[in-house]
Structure 1
Amino acid sequence: MFFVLSKVLWFLTAPSNLLLLLVLAGAGLAGSRLSLRWRRLGLGLVATAGLILLVGGVSPLASLVFGPLENRFPEFRDDGVPVTGIVVLGGAVETGLSSARDQLVVNDAGERMIALGDLARRYPKATLVFAGGSGRLTGDGAVSESAVLRRHAASLGVPPERITYDDRSRNTHENAAFSAELVKPKPGERWLLVTSAWHMPRAMGCFRRAGFTVTAYPVDYRTGPGAVALHSTAGDGLFELDVAAREWLGLLAYRASGYTESVFPGP
């Protein structure tokens, strides 16, 4: 139920979707035969939502919202402690296009896959785990990210048989629970957790809740250290604002559901 609700509610509350819905609602009121008061309200909605769309898309707002998420956990520095294993979270593979084109197609979080190939080379004795099922709402017959990677891991320079695949997980909570179930980590082992920097707080919270001690290995940064920048197109800014808003809402929802022990997990 949580999975289904999260998908439906997010569609309605994503900033870009919500603002567009307000524009449509306002236009409907403005063009209706209702009283002058309602028509003025409609015009006000259109103007306000349109202005927020412009500001949210072009201004540094998305960078300001991303910053605390991305800077919560420091970049990984190898201190010589042996690495037992590496867990890479899904979310970077476009399963439909990968299947249609018969090659590994990644999205804007593709750095997760780059890190998989790089870390596999740097730590040849480490166990590799890829946690990626299907995040589609209609899961029947959907191709999992794990299935795609198993077919194309060699393109990353990694033998497919070296990777342990979790093809069941649909969200971060399940990533943590199923990965812990697969590898049964022992006390004192060092496991690296690879995911997008902005997603790392929620992921770390879930792994801690699952009793799986991991070290953060953040990738896929969207902002520089202390950088606040304008966006060249409103589409770029709104996309980033949607991603950041989803993550903050996800942190609240996961804490409320008991999937993490704090709202904003930190080091």
Structure 2
Amino acid sequence: MSKVLTIFLFPLPVFLLFSLILFFGIKPGKSKFSFFLLWLFLYLASSSFIANSLLDGLEKEYPPVTIATIPKADVAIVLGGMIQTISSPIGRTELTDSADRLTDAVRLYKAGKVKKILFTGGSGLLLTDEFREANLAKQLFIDLGVREDDLILENNSRNTYENAVETKKILEKQNFKSTILITSAFHMKRSLGCFQKQNINVFPFPTDYRSIQMESGAFELYVPSASYLELTTVAIKEWIGYFVYGAKSYL
């Protein structure tokens, strides 16, 4: 009972419930119809079905790969996006939901699948680049057992396209031939396209899966939530990025 009550006291379900009650008090007309459309949009965007449908379309092409089956490579390319660069504790490395990108890179390194780790990621913020992901990631990699000599940092790129462009320069300079590309499963479609466009030979290693087991029948699947709204937002952002990159010939 406590779990059910807690769910219905979350801000989003409360908002949807009370706005629906308010809807019935509005006189019929264009205003009521417009109100309903806005309510329906938010309800659907925060539902597990819509979130999962959008994510599954991105992730299904890249099923999980076991470390044992991965061929050895010269270097693992890790795309940034898992470090909070504007965290309130300045200088502390705070990981986000995409932390699997970093931890899986360390797992591949310790399993002997790669000799080096190349982390590519500067600042993705529009108005500031004071704090860059690669700089914050360095000590964490070292603390997790990666030798500093085996760590290569690229901190100038601001997006996935620039990740590929800047990485190409390093690969040519270091004469690396084989690579493993590590990023979130929902981000692999766009990332792989960018790296292949730069003629970089990569073996994709998707991680950080966000799609949901809808067949589980969990009660939470049927209640709109901010977490599903966030997943919908992530998926929409990625789909937009994919089509924009295609239009700009980045893929």
TM-score class, shorter-chain normalisation, is 0.7 to 0.9
Taking the aligned partners of 2:200 and 2:90, their CA distance within structure 1 comes to 36
Q: Distance in 2 between matches of 1:185 and 1:217?
A: 24
Write the distance in 2 (CA, Å) between the matches of 1:212 and 1:144: 24
Q: Residue in 2 aligned with 1:158? A: 146
**How does the TM-score come out when normalised to structure 2?**
0.79
Equivalent residues in 2 for 1:1-267, closer than 5 Å: 40-77=29-66, 78-79=68-69, 81-97=71-87, 100=89, 102-123=91-112, 126-140=115-129, 142-184=130-172, 189-223=177-211, 230=221, 232-260=223-251
- Aligned residues: percent identity? 26
Distance 2:222 2:100 in 1: 21
Aligned pairs, number:
225
Amino acid at match of 2:184: S
SS in 2 for 1:126: strand
In the alignment, the residues of structure 1 paired with residue 154 and residue 35 of structure 2 have an alpha-carbon distance, to the nearest angstrom, of: 46
Q: What letter matches 2:235 in structure 1?
A: A
Tell whether the 8 Å contact from 1:57 to 1:231 is kept in structure 2 after alignment: no
Give the drift of 1:143.
Answer: 0.7
1:259 aligned partner, one-letter code:
Y
- Distance change in 2, residues 1:100/1:232 (3 Å): same
How far has the Cα of 1:237 moved from its partner? 1.1
Query: Residue 13 of structure 1 corresponds to which residue in structure 2?
Result: none
- The gaps in structure 2 that reach 5 residues or longer are 1-18, 20-25
Displacement after TM superposition at 1:238 (Å): 0.8
Mind listing any 5+ residue stretches in structure 1 that lack a counterpart?
A: 1-22, 24-30, 261-267
Q: What is the CA RMSD across the aligned residues, in angstroms? A: 3.0
Letter in 1 for 2:94: V
What secondary structure, in the 3-state scheme, does the structure 2 residue paired with 1:198 have?
Answer: helix
Structure 1 contact 56–234 (Cα < 8 Å) conserved: no
CA displacement, residues 37-66 of structure 1 (integer Å, 9 cap, x when unaligned): xx9433322221112211221341110111
